[in-house]
Amino acid sequence: MRLAILGAGPGGYAAAIKAARSGAQVTLIEAEEVGGVCLNLGCVPTKVLIASSVLFAKALRLEDFGIEVKGGITPNFPRMIERKNKIVTIQQKGIRNLLKGHGITLTEGRGTLTSPGEIRVALKNGSQDIVKTDGTIIATGSRPLQVQAFPFDGERILSSNDALQMEELPKSLLILGAGFIGCEFASFFRDLGVEVTVIEMLPRVVAGEDIEISALLEREFKKKGIKLLTGVKADKVDVRDDGIRVSFPDGKEVSGEKMLVAVGRAVNTEGIGLETVGVDRGSKGEILVDEKLQTNVPGIFAIGDVIGGFMLAHVASKEGKVAAQNAMGGNTTMDYTSVPSAIFTSPEIASVGLREQQALEKDIKVKTGHLQFRSLGKAHIIGEIEGLVKVISDASSDKVLGVHIIGPHASELIHEAALAIQKGLKTRDITDTIHVHPTLSEVILEAAEDVHGEATHVPKKLLT
């Protein structure tokens, strides 16, 4: 069968490879660059930069590790950007090779659905191509959401895309929005010495996280010297030659050299022919799909950021594989039971499953177990003792319902918890599993033990 995929981000290219391996004749259409937002303007470039800022912050503590630094160390921002661009290019080549190796046709241009079986592509070279297909997967992703009061100008008012193209570090930066993107940039720039002010309308930063986790991030951000203005709505901006001034309804003002607006994502559903073929959309413009990721038009599927929901690269990739199977006659449904997520601030955050406040809202009786990283030998060994793990289990069945981590390597540690939730395991299954010593993974073991008041490294008086 012939399958056309619109968009070569982590959703689109994963779908293409899955379908090609299953014998489909695949055409992958990409308007910009393979890898999509994730590789070019999102996950990868931000994490390359964060790797530098985390290393720099740690290098400032080298003497704690018995290493003397003669002369000072300073961040070289242009070199960081250069390294980021190099890594992105290597990854782009890797994806192009994978596509080629699987016999996937990469059509470089902007595609528009003209009928359920046809896509017109305005090719990058100025000509036009028509792709005939038996099935289509739309994976056109998202872009930074622009708010009227703070229009991006690429110079003073920046989107996350612009922030990744900066040539030098600003002296000070205002960040509007304390979601994961705003907080990752805040952590990165602050670790490099930039004066950072974060403005958030909601009462807390990373408000989607468990309440204890976001409280701890706030504490760590304040310790770093990040100024946090939560529960306030900025309403006006004044762009001047020497910087920017943001004001609030009560007349207060904050100023900075530049401002990063990170208040959400807009889905890419305009101009791709959805009206022509009759694909339904939701209130935020997102494409509506069923549990098999099929739209209301038979044979047209949609995946990734463009359907809203989690808006994470690994979710897009999984959806891509599910949609590819279904487009080829399969009958697979998408399972969102145990989607892990991570925020690459310093310290990192990672979580999966139920937050404690959600358990309260849903009236689910839960037990919780905690462990502070500082209780672990390994945390001291690597000199990163801040943070904790919180395990939430069903009070009657003992099943793991949620795990929330803030601390070193949280994004790596979360997968044991994701597996536990995915497979319906109990905290007893975790406590019965011997964990290597000394490792950070022991934090999950002991937090699970703490659910039963049995954690070895919790002082007796603190046992729950």
Binding interface with ligand FAD (CB under 6 A): 6-12, 29-32, 36-38, 41-43, 46, 110-111, 139-142, 160, 181, 268, 272, 304-306, 311-314, 316, 344
Name residues whose C-beta falls within 8 Å of residue 236's C-beta, 6 or more positions apart in sequence. 149, 246, 247
Tokens of 266: 């807009």
DSSP 329-395: T-------TT--EEE-SSS-EEEEE--HHHHHHTT--EEEEEEEGGGSHHHHHTT----EEEEEEET
Least separation in angstroms between residue 123's CB and ligand FAD is 11
Q: Apex CA 173: angle with CA 168 and CA 175, to 5°?
A: 125
Least separation in angstroms between residue 392's CB and ligand FAD is 23
Q: Cite the active site residues.
A: 437
Count of Cβ atoms closer than 10 Å to residue 168 Cβ: 8
**Residue 184 to residues 42, 143, 190: CA-CA distances in angstroms?**
11, 17, 10
Cβ distance to ligand FAD smaller for residue 81 or 313: 313
Least separation in angstroms between residue 265's CB and ligand FAD is 7
Tokens of 80: 């960081």
Cβ distance to ligand FAD smaller for residue 253 or 270: 270
Phi then psi dihedrals of residue 223, to 5 deg: -60, -35
The shares of helix, strand and coil residues in the chain, as percent rounded to the nearest 5, are 35, 25, 40
Beta bridge partners of 390: 370, 404
Q: What's the rounded Cα separation, in Å, for the pair 73 and 59? A: 8
Cβ distance to ligand FAD smaller for residue 304 or 369: 304
Cβ distance to ligand FAD smaller for residue 88 or 447: 88
Name residues whose C-beta falls within 8 Å of residue 241's C-beta, 6 or more positions apart in sequence. none
Least separation in angstroms between residue 345's CB and ligand FAD is 11
Q: What's the rounded Cα separation, in Å, for the pair 412 and 220? A: 20
Cβ distance to ligand FAD smaller for residue 157 or 313: 313
Cβ distance to ligand FAD smaller for residue 312 or 445: 312
Q: Are 236 and 149 in contact (CB under 8 A)?
A: yes
Tokens of 48: 């390359």
Cβ distance to ligand FAD smaller for residue 316 or 405: 316
Least separation in angstroms between residue 184's CB and ligand FAD is 7
Least separation in angstroms between residue 32's CB and ligand FAD is 4
Q: Are 95 and 34 in contact (CB under 8 A)?
A: yes
Least separation in angstroms between residue 432's CB and ligand FAD is 31
- Determine the residue type at 222: K
Q: What's the rounded Cα separation, in Å, for the pair 154 and 67? A: 41
Least separation in angstroms between residue 349's CB and ligand FAD is 11
Q: What's the rounded Cα separation, in Å, for the pair 29 and 105? A: 8
Cβ distance to ligand FAD smaller for residue 77 or 344: 344
Tokens of 246: 């943001």
DSSP code of residue 273: S
- Determine the residue type at 81: I
Exposed, middle or buried, 203 (CB in 10 Å: 0-12/13-18/19+)? exposed
